[in-house]
Amino acid sequence: MTDLASFLVEHPPFQSLGPDELDELAGAATVHSFETGTIVVDYGAHVPEEIWMVQTGQVVLLPVGAEVSTAEPIDTVAPGGIFGFFALLTDGDVKFTARASEPSVVVRLPGNLVRPIFAKPPGLAFLATSAWNSMSGRTNAVEQAASRRPVGDLVRAEPVFTTPDTTVRDAVKHMTAQRTSYVLIPLRDGDYGIFTDRDLRTRVVAAGVGIDVPIRQVMSAPAKCVTADRLAATVLMDMLEMGLRHMPVLTHHGRVLGVLEDADLLAASTRQSFVLRRAIGLAANAGELEAVTAGITDLAVDLFRGGTDASATSGILSVVIDSVVRRALELALANSVGIAPSKFAWLTLGSIARREAMPSSDVDSALSWADELTAEKGRFLRMAGRVHTILDACGLPGDSNGAVAAKPLFARSAGEWTSATEEWLDDPLKNRGLIMSSLLVDGRVVWGDNALHTVPAAYRTMRADHPNALRLQLLNALSDKARMWSLRDVLSRRGGTFDLKAHALTPIVNLARWGGLTVGIASASTPARLEAAAGNGLLSEADSKILTEVFAVLQGLRMAHQVDQIAAGHTPGDIVTMSELSPLNRSLLSDGVREIAAVQRRMNNLLATAT
């Protein structure tokens, strides 16, 4: 055991283990010998509970079912190397066969002891630079491109429905006839139930339920759904984390476009972020969470420099930050006596809510709780303060302007939010109503009951019920002029710098928010809002397309700038020095700003004519 412990500590990711941890791991390990050509493990037919480490010899990793003589190896593992860790961490989602390519001695390490190792910084660093990179490089270009596309673009077939009273027997016949592994069941409240082949195995066959019972008794309800603008990469991570195989895709008006399966979304570029999210969920205390989240900025750098575009990188970063917020909430709730977790909702606001986070993004938040708990406001504020203290330590600071749930202005009961919404719509200039509504309309629930986020419902009918408030939203959006410099820049001789966010991206984001409200859409991504609003009378389809394209270019420039700052050891920000940009990027930036300004002028002229 002593020799094995000495061998383990010489190789990553075990160098950081203390003597007691090493002894425990070595004591639980078993050593196995394999002749040439012998299968060590087949992850096509085996749910992993372990990882393997080569002590002597060599092991080759092959696609499941491949012929040894003709297959190109996925990877070759030499002494000191380990394999099976991604199969373990993804509960068997990664499949391959490991064979000894020469007489080999291989150490089996139990999963319950090694899993926590990969949740710590040395383990995460190992995963980021491991041989999985060579495996992920084998993903074809179609799969890589798919991971960066909205899931609505990936729907290939019409959804399959049945009624709640349909028997299991008839539902399965219908699934077979339609060649699907699921069926959707519309419910009276507008939600959907779903029945899948997994439900057939676990809720019918294994449970001994008769096949003539109504499908409503064995379906999963309500089905977890996503809107069509969500990026495939982030949806896949949600499915992996929640153990789902099917995901209905909806328009923002609730119409089902189709149902995607996890295999439709499989993309190697999401693996690193998935592992990081698993590590976040395993953090036992605030200190461990702080250590794990040190890898978030590195994740953004690795994704973007590895070929993931800015939009997908932002989406994945937003999802990971959501995971940190949820874990910080769980840790804070453990010390918050008297707060029922089911009686409140935590809202993320701003760019993270739109899934457009950057490494520089701070965490805007709000709280809403059940009306009967209004007297507990003090407890909710203290809990929110603890959450943001944890997030600050994790390198995720709260909004510098105070838009955080620990402030009374952003912590109210559901009824109080409804009353505030009515006031903002009646008089947007009172009590900062225009600013507050812009923040809360973007809001997205990351914890708790969605019904407690009462603001969006009133804004979905804004065009018909409050046209003057909607007009003020547009005037406010058009007042944020896209410009290459300001008078202050000229007077202070700072004309050589440019604020990507304030002077280019914010005008697009605000116009998109207004555009979404004109067609009844509250929270959504900027591109989704622009697409939905195209042709609304003031924003033409051509201008919507222009703004969408410019937004993508500017987000790319912004991400590249911040990634370079991080790599150089600097704090990421939005101020770029024009002379340091390449001629191409200077041209792209200048052209983009001119395009935004031109759209703003055209909309101003149309607004004046309409008035």
**CATH assignment at residue 45:** 2.60.120.10
pLDDT band at 510 (very low <50, low <70, confident <90, very high): very high
What angle (nearest 5°) sits at the alpha carbon of residue 128, between those of residues 290 and 554? 80
Query: Residue 129: inside a domain, yes or no?
Result: no
19 or 272, higher pLDDT: 19
- Written as six digits, the tokens of 119 are 């949740």
Of 67, 204, 226, 51, whose CA–CA distance to 151 is shortest? 226
Res. 271: pLDDT tops 60? no
**Residue where a domain stops, chosen among 457, 486, 501:** 457
Residue 193 confidence (pLDDT): 95
- Written as six digits, the tokens of 472 are 């003020």
**Residue where a domain stops, chosen among 457, 480, 506:** 457
Res. 131: pLDDT tops 60? no
Res. 270: pLDDT tops 80? no
**CATH assignment at residue 351:** 3.30.460.10
Residue 574 confidence (pLDDT): 94
Whether 397 and 358 map to the same domain: the answer is yes
What does the alpha-carbon distance between residue 234 and residue 445 come to, in Å, rounded to a whole number? 16
Whether 103 and 222 map to the same domain: the answer is no
pLDDT band at 13 (very low <50, low <70, confident <90, very high): confident
What does the alpha-carbon distance between residue 40 and residue 59 come to, in Å, rounded to a whole number? 8
130 or 341, higher pLDDT: 341
Residue 516: CB atoms within 10 Å: 27
pLDDT band at 266 (very low <50, low <70, confident <90, very high): low
**CATH assignment at residue 149:** 3.10.580.10
Distance (Å) of CA 506 to CA 6, 440, 477, 479: 56, 16, 9, 11
What does the alpha-carbon distance between residue 442 and residue 268 come to, in Å, rounded to a whole number? 30
User: Distance from CA of residue 532 to its chain's centroid?
Assistant: 22
Percent above pLDDT 70 for the chain: 88
pLDDT band at 70 (very low <50, low <70, confident <90, very high): low
Angle in degrees, 0-180, between the axes of helices 467-479 and 433-441, rounded to the nearest 10: 90
pLDDT band at 134 (very low <50, low <70, confident <90, very high): very low
pTM across the whole model = 0.69
Mean pLDDT of 157-180: 92
Query: Residue 363: inside a domain, yes or no?
Result: yes
Out of 66-75, 241-250, 284-293, give the one with best mean pLDDT.
284-293
Residue 92 confidence (pLDDT): 63
Residue 490: CB atoms within 10 Å: 10
Whether 251 and 363 map to the same domain: the answer is no
pLDDT band at 135 (very low <50, low <70, confident <90, very high): very low
What does the alpha-carbon distance between residue 182 and residue 500 come to, in Å, rounded to a whole number? 45
Contact present, 496 and 611 (Cβ < 8 Å): no
Residue 284 confidence (pLDDT): 87
Question: For residue range 190-248, what is the model confidence (pLDDT) as tens digits?
Answer: 889 999 988 888 888 888 888 899 999 999 999 999 999 887 777 876 776 677 889 99
Query: Residue 187: inside a domain, yes or no?
Result: yes
**CATH assignment at residue 536:** 1.20.120
Query: Residue 277: inside a domain, yes or no?
Result: no
Whether 593 and 487 map to the same domain: the answer is yes
Residue 140 confidence (pLDDT): 36
Res. 330: pLDDT tops 90? yes
Range of the domain at 7: 2-113
DSSP code string of 413-435: EHHHHHHHHHHHHH-TTSTTHHH
209: three-class secondary structure by DSSP: coil
- Written as six digits, the tokens of 421 are 């919404």
Res. 68: pLDDT tops 80? no
Whether 98 and 148 map to the same domain: the answer is no
**Residue where a domain stops, chosen among 457, 489, 509:** 457
Query: Residue 539: inside a domain, yes or no?
Result: yes
Query: Residue 292: inside a domain, yes or no?
Result: no
Mean pLDDT of 325-340: 88
Give me the sign of the Cα torsion angle 158, 164, 166, 168. Answer: positive
Contact present, 276 and 240 (Cβ < 8 Å): no
Res. 494: pLDDT tops 90? no
Of 321, 322, 325, 270, whose CA–CA distance to 296 is shortest? 321
Query: Residue 358: inside a domain, yes or no?
Result: yes
Res. 146: pLDDT tops 70? no
Whether 323 and 411 map to the same domain: the answer is yes
Whether 577 and 491 map to the same domain: the answer is yes
What does the alpha-carbon distance between residue 573 and residue 579 come to, in Å, rounded to a whole number? 17
Residue 93 confidence (pLDDT): 63
What is the rounded average pLDDT for all residues in the chain? 85
Q: Which residue has the tokens 């002597």?
A: 56
Question: For residue range 29-51, what is the model confidence (pLDDT) as tens digits?
Answer: 999 999 998 999 988 887 788 99
Res. 265: pLDDT tops 90? no
What does the alpha-carbon distance between residue 231 and residue 562 come to, in Å, rounded to a whole number? 21
Q: Which residue has the tokens 């004109």?
A: 518
Whether 450 and 524 map to the same domain: the answer is no
Query: Residue 408: inside a domain, yes or no?
Result: yes
Residue 272 confidence (pLDDT): 63
Query: Looking at this protein, which amino acid is placed at residue 608?
Result: A
Residue 611 confidence (pLDDT): 56
Determine which helix (DSSP H) or strand (DSSP E) holds 127, and give its type and residue range.
helix 121-128
Mean pLDDT of 396-411: 94
Number of structural domains, the chain? 4
Mean pLDDT of 139-154: 58
Distance (Å) of CA 89 to CA 123, 137, 446: 12, 19, 24
Mean pLDDT of 425-444: 92
Whether 416 and 504 map to the same domain: the answer is no
Whether 385 and 425 map to the same domain: the answer is yes
Distance (Å) of CA 337 to CA 292, 332, 341, 382, 607: 27, 10, 11, 11, 53
Of 576, 381, 434, 398, whose CA–CA distance to 496 is shortest? 576
Contact present, 97 and 61 (Cβ < 8 Å): yes
Residue 301 confidence (pLDDT): 86
Whether 483 and 590 map to the same domain: the answer is yes
Res. 486: pLDDT tops 70? no
Whether 429 and 340 map to the same domain: the answer is yes
